[in-house]
Amino acid sequence: MPIDLDAFKPAYQKWVEESLSDWRAGNRKEIVKKYPLITPDDIPWTAYNGQPSNQTFALVTSGGLYLKDSQPPFDTESIHGDTSFREIPKTVSRQDIGIAHAHYDHSLAEQDINIVFPIQRFVELENEGIIGRLTDTHYSFSYVNDAVSLVSETVPELISRIKAAGVDVLFLVPV
């Protein structure tokens, strides 16, 4: 069953109204506890067939990664979070990646980006033939509270892009 946005929407709007002052005051722990988590009953499933060595992989991180020279950082101020994503090329250099995410300590990822976005490891596995292909484009999200926009707008766009790229498996790394 698709995610029930009709039930979530009013609960989320109420949460935003009640939480705004705490959000602005920086009392984030309090309002996170009150967030109207979506709790689906079912679990979607697409059977996995074939071998990784014949397939195309893509990565998604929620580490707030963006390309410092060519992409805007994520919005880290809004109570809604930022529901957009950034495309990160497989050939990216570490020094080109910025991190815009106000809800985790970046210091470890600054030392080694692979702990939030294991791109170098996947490139190695592609070179060794353990996976068939690592797609050219990967994706980063950041902190999101507005699940309505995420589910109805952003994720359909992500799905259309990864399908167009012939992605067989998506590997997701949250922070």
Closest to other proteins by CB, 19 or 56: 56
Residue 87 DSSP class: E
- Farthest-apart Cα atoms in the chain, separation: 53
Dist. CA 73–CA 77, nearest whole Å: 11
Residues 45 and 172: their CA atoms lie apart, in Å, by 15
Provide the minimum distance between the beta carbon of 95 and other proteins in the complex, in angstroms, as a whole number. 16
> By C-alpha distance, which of 62, 74, 162 is closest to 116?
62
What Rg value do the Cα atoms of the chain yield, rounded? 18
Q: Judged by CB under 8 A, which stretch of 19-27, 69-77, 88-96, 110-118 contacts other proteins?
A: 110-118
Among 12, 66, 74, 122, interactor with other proteins by CB under 8 A: 122
Residue 102 to residue 141: CA distance in whole angstroms: 13
Of 28, 78, 63, 89, give the one whose Cα is nearest residue 141: 63
* Residue 88 interacts with other proteins (CB under 8 A): yes or no: no
Please answer whether residues 138 and 90 qualify as being in contact, where contact means their C-beta atoms are separated by less than 8 angstroms.
Answer: yes
Give the DSSP H/E element, type plus range, for residue 23.
helix 5-25
Q: Judged by CB under 8 A, which stretch of 11-19, 73-81, 86-94, 120-128 contacts other proteins?
A: 120-128
Nearer to other proteins, 22 or 146 (CB): 146
Total residues contacting other proteins (rule CB under 8 A)?
A: 54
Tell me which residues in 47-66 interact with other proteins (CB under 8 A).
47-48, 51-52, 60, 62-63
Q: Which helix (H) or strand (E) holds 139?
A: strand 137-140
Q: How far is the CB of 3 from other proteins (least distance, A)?
A: 6
Give the interface segment with other proteins, choosing from 17-25, 68-76, 89-97, 119-127 (CB under 8 A): 119-127
Judged by the rule CB under 8 A, the positions of this chain that interact with other proteins are 2-3, 37-40, 42-48, 51-52, 60, 62-63, 104-106, 108-109, 111-112, 114-116, 118, 121-122, 124-125, 130-131, 141, 147, 150-151, 155-156, 158-159, 162-163, 167-175
